[in-house]
Chains A and B, each alone.
Chain A
Amino acid sequence: MRILIRHLLRAFESVGTLTALLILVVTSISCSTARSRYFGYTNPPQENVLRYVSGPEPESLDPQIPTGQPETRILLSLYDGLVDYHPRTMEPIPALAKSCDLSEDGRTYTFHLRSGARFSNGEPITAEDFVYTFTRGLSPELASQNASFGYYIENAEEYNSGSKPASSLGLRAIDDLTLEIRLKQPTPFFVGLLCHPFFRVIHKETVEKFGREWVRSENIVTSGAFNLLEHRPYDRLVVVKNPLYWDAEMVRLDRIEFYPLEDTNTMMNLYRSGEIDAFYNHVPPASWNAEVRAFEDEYLDFPELVVDYYTFNTLKAPMNDLRVRRAFSLAIDREAMSKFRRTTQPLAEFSPKGIFPDYDAVRESVFSEERTSRGISEDEWTRRKFDPEAARRMLGEAGYPVIKTTDGFSCPTFPVDQVEFLYNTAESNRVNAEYVQAQWKQNLGITVPLRNQEFKAFLQSRTNLDYSGIARGGWAGDYLDPLAFLKILYGKDNESATGWSNSEFDNLLDRANEERNPEARFALLARAEFLMLLDQPVLPVQTAATNWMKKPFVKGLYPNPGTLHTWKFVYIERNSEKWDSNVAKIMDRRDDFVDENLDRLMKTKSSVADVSGARVKR
């Protein structure tokens, strides 16, 4: 026995010393770094190069194939379209089209292309190339998952499903520099949609010659401000300035190095060691957030074109009862949740707040009208973001009385075994799920079981309404218009995964699509939104934020709602006096290079931005 104890002690002694040594080394390292103005190594690179983490490895460099934002970020450098994203607002600004006319009926756009624009192989870009590009994107053989972006074009859906020939499409090259696009119906946000890579011009001969391998670096022909230099999958993708680009004079970066990475801690480490200059949105992990957001010259936290919400399975009891759905919505303290998450804004509506200021204003007045006509007091309406008492009352009315107990509430009759909270496996989702679970427990006395699934399995369960109770939802708008959000609840078999549909809602959206006056159109959309919210098929939680970082010497890179950058506006500032400071104000600050070039581009008569209905905040 004594020998055993002695052995144990010896073992502890050696393991103990080693562990203590290790802890000492690590803590001394982590404490030794003094707080400086910038996060980690901050020195502009020698050359005019931007090193950027764009997200995971791109699916393809064919602009019409990939569905994700990581690819879009890269594709925006390689291909140019009729219009380009405004670096701050993402509104369309003129690119290959210098101007555009809209017909009286709001269905026919005539784009006037720039003369002298060329592909990277020197061949001119003509209206015929755009007809080819759009037709190819919609062809059933390409089977692009993005084809529905083009469904606004006349006969596009029919051609894509094989029932009509390509010649029936509403596309026509009137001459080399004039392109006519005829739509199925007036679509106020159509020009904004044309910024998407799906509509960016590609070179016909190259695509037809090399087939699916045309995007390899040895074959590829591009049309954007940058050319592909090398692509080493999962490692790096380098693009260099395209001397043949029509606006090459403006491009200040000689090179962009995109690093496709997956681990967010790794990205933070690379940023800290000065090996990258900026990264995409949502990178800082929760454990880093408190530390890095203090660097106010680098940390960007702005509203995003994304809403976080939960869906109810309205086809199954007890969530088929409106009162139960409302009770669950009223019982979540959204303000507290946003404070806890730090990177979100509380949301009780379905389209995000702070992205469409014009719509926000119209919505406010429409909601107040609608609420008065339904006898809902202003006080009751403002408390819809969190009203635990009303929630308990509502649940009682539904037949599940909430009883006060010594340590809170309890709802013994509620069928907890028939509900669950389904989410896809991810640390941030788990934290959110536990938060709302605690809220329901605290305010309703109901402990909703949590269930997580791997992403694809989760999508399958949710899409097939194969869940009971509540599931996590998140939606990123494809274009800058509230319709990008409301449309997911449109129609009988809609994609909201709630089982909910409403003919009056559909009718209002139809009418909005016919309406030419932007304000009247927004009013119709707002009424639809109000109607839907009253029925509560979804439980809106928050407008997400685009939290990301950039070194202060990277200029012209703005926290726009989609974190999609127009690279020709980006430059490296070597004079440290002109570096960005306090980036919370970056959107309101004038940048001579960016704003002079914007003015130059917008000068072209009947600018494309004028005909797009969506107005966004500068």
Chain B
Amino acid sequence: MKVYIFKRLATIIPMSLLVVSVTWGLIRIAPGNFYLSEKKLPAAIKENIKKKYGLESSLVEQYLMMLGNMTCRFSDSDDSEGAGLKIAIRSRTLRCFDFGYSLKYEGQSVNEILSRHLPYSAVIGLLAFLIALVGGVSLGAVAATRKDSRVARYLMSLSMIGISVPTFVLAPVLVLAFSFGLYWLPPARWGGMEHLVLPVLSLSAVYLAYIARLTRTGLIEVLKSDYVRTARATGLSEARVVVGHALKAGILPVVSFSGPAIAGLLAGSVVSERIFAIPGLGNIFVQSVLNRDEPLTLGIVAFVSILILVCNLVVDVVYALIDPRIRFGER
């Protein structure tokens, strides 16, 4: 198990470097650059900008510089500028994970932007996932145990609506209902607990619906199995059979769905962040691409790719913990 985890962790480095390199290439291929605007800049100003941001050196040099910044490189100058880890080794400084400065937001480092805006997305994302998980599993379990009842049919229809209605429809409808109909909640912006309700609800809806359907399908299958029949035969109540025995195996599909889902939720959702004016990472990521803000885009891509890889690893480990049939590296 430990060896397996270590191997998987080791693959994360080359994988994310590959992702970053491909992204870098795509940004360079994309038309336009960060200083292109409606107004044509005089040649002298363009030259000044290129000099300032190191765009005069060859592409290979720029690429290596970028990779060096993102991983580790030695720097001779002990200037205080730049973010990331700084380790002094004799007279030189080893600098790691310095994603550089944003091209659009003068004077702000990418590390700073990431650490400043990640918490917003993470709070909303985690809350949304928690609601989706608890709500989805319970509703799915109810639907599975009362397979043919009217309640189950309503629940499953509701979940179908949840999956089909996109956030950009659901969110305005929620705003209309709760902010302008009932006057219970503010329509947007970051603030107190009341500001969290609508974004969390609208973000969790799809995940909740999906998890409910996954749980139901998984559970129906498991409820037919022999060991559940044995459990029932011992005289346990139906609730204890489902919660204590069947659910553990029944939610395996939910676990594998959760990995990428958590990663996606943590990194922020563009649509709900825009609609509710939340200063999260998702919107900033999209804006950085539109602005051709290369360091910021690369920093977020690197971060998100590592996040997804780690989440997938965690899911695989949780799998083994839940299901005794799964073992790593043993035949």
Contact = CB atoms under 8 A, between A and B. Distances in A.
Interface of A: 10-11, 14-15, 18-19, 22, 25-26, 28-30, 32-33, 56-57, 59-60, 62, 65-67, 140-145, 147-148, 151, 157, 160-162, 211-216, 232-235, 259, 261-263, 265-266, 269-270, 272-273, 275, 454-457, 459-461, 463, 474-476, 495
A29 B176 contact: yes
5 contacts: A18-B154, A66-B106, A161-B44, A263-B277, A476-B38
Nearest to B43: A161
A235 B279 contact: yes
B180 A272 contact: yes
A215 to B, nearest CB: 6
B105 interface: yes
Interface size range on B against A: 35 or more
Given A14-B157, A233-B279, A475 B38 contact: yes
Contacts of B197: none
B279 A160 contact: no
A240 to B, nearest CB: 19
B73 interface: no
Contact of B180 (A33, A145, A457, A463): A33
A227 B189 CA distance: 23
B277 A261 contact: yes
Contacts of B44: 140, 147, 157, 160-162
A270 B106 contact: no
A265 B275 contact: yes
B28 interface: no
A570 B55 CA distance: 44
Among A10, A11, A266, A272: residue with most chain B CB under 10 A: A266
B274 to A, nearest CB: 4
Given A213-B107, A269-B187, A461-B31, A143 B45 contact: yes
A456 B31 CA distance: 7
Given A10-B153, A18-B154, A233 B105 contact: yes
A273 B179 contact: yes
Contacts of A144: 45
Contact of B190 (A140, A142, A235, A461): A235
B7 interface: no
B157 A15 contact: yes
A262 B274 contact: yes
B117 A463 contact: no
Contact of B279 (A10, A14, A143, A234): A234
Given A160-B45, A456-B33, A460-B31, A273 B186 contact: yes
A60 B287 CA distance: 15
Contacts of A25: 177, 181
Contacts of A67: 37, 39
Interface stretch (B16-24, B46-54, B136-144, B248-256): B46-54
Interface in B41-91: 41-45, 47-49, 51-53, 81
A255 B160 CA distance: 48
Contacts of B188: 261, 266, 269-270, 275
Contacts of B42: 147-148, 151, 157
Contact of B45 (A145, A262, A454): A145
B202 interface: no
Contacts of B275: 263, 265-266
A59 B105 contact: yes
B257 interface: no
Contact of B158 (A18, A151, A474): A18
B276 interface: yes
Contacts of B51: 140, 143
Given A266-B274, A460-B32, A463-B40, A232 B290 contact: no
B154 A463 contact: no
Given A160-B48, A476-B38, 19 more contacts: A11-B157, A15-B161, A18-B154, A18-B157, A28-B181, A29-B181, A32-B181, A62-B106, A66-B106, A144-B45, A145-B35, A145-B37, A148-B41, A157-B44, A235-B277, A269-B175, A269-B180, A273-B179, A457-B31
A169 B161 CA distance: 68
Nearest to B291: A456
Contacts of A232: 279
B153 A14 contact: yes
Given A26-B176, A269-B188, A211 B81 contact: yes
Contacts of A141: 48, 52
A266 B187 CA distance: 8
| Closest CB pairs A-B (n = 7) | A456-B32, A161-B44, A29-B181, A234-B279, A495-B40, A143-B48, A60-B106
A313 to B, nearest CB: 16
Contacts of A457: 30-32
B264 interface: no
B104 A59 contact: yes
A14 B283 CA distance: 36
A265 B276 CA distance: 10
Interface in B260-309: 274-277, 279, 283-284, 287, 290, 292
Nearest to A29: B181
A14 B31 contact: no
A214 B106 CA distance: 11
Contacts of B116: 233
Nearest to A271: B187
B38 A145 contact: no
A263 B177 contact: no
Among B40, B113, B161: residue with most chain A CB under 10 A: B40
A28 B181 CA distance: 9
Nearest to B154: A14
A474 B38 contact: yes
Contacts of B180: 29, 33, 269, 272-273
Contacts of A59: 104-106
A451 B287 CA distance: 22
A259 B278 CA distance: 11
